Amino acid sequence: MAKTTGLHECEAALERLLKNTPHVGSHVGVTEVDITPAMVSVEAGYDKGYLKRSRYSHKPLIARIDSLKKSPRGGDRVKLKKAERKCKQLQAEQKMNGELMDRLFTQNLMLLQRVKELENELSRYTNVVTL
């Protein structure tokens, strides 16, 4: 088995995060813009301070992580997910409002029917004068 360096493990960890197949449970579902060097370090099995900007060998990987925050692809994906969540929320609200409207419509019809029944009953009394 080939010996892997910490940097290689961090690169593999970054790939897992990008593919949304992390080993650390708390990293499931993170978006590209949420990935940090600390998160990659922890995903690789190191402490969160393993990747350092001051280490020359770490600079390319950290630059790649930083570029994810600025990439339009990542930002578009985040916007898309946000819009999808908002759409689902609005659809749920629309369904609830439709059910409420149906219930209120039914109640109003029942009340209207009851008013007509009471008016008919009232009209049977001859000693009642309409105003």
* Span 34-73, pLDDT tens digits: 889 999 999 999 998 999 889 999 999 999 988 887 766 6
In the structure, what pLDDT confidence band is assigned to residue 27 with cuts at 50, 70 and 90?
A: confident
In a domain, 11, yes or no: yes
What angle, 0 to 180 degrees and rounded to 10, lies between the N-to-C axes of helices 59-70 and 6-18? 20
In a domain, 23, yes or no: yes
In a domain, 77, yes or no: no
Number of domains making up the chain: 1
When the pLDDT of each residue in the chain is averaged and rounded to a whole number, the result is: 87
Q: Give Dmax (Cα) for the chain.
A: 106
Rounded alpha-carbon distances, angstroms, from residue 85 to 10, 21, 65: 31, 22, 26
pLDDT at 71: 64
pLDDT at 121: 87
DSSP reduced 3-state for 20:
coil
In a domain, 22, yes or no: yes
With contact defined as beta carbons under 8 Å apart, do 75 and 39 qualify?
Answer: no
In a domain, 33, yes or no: yes
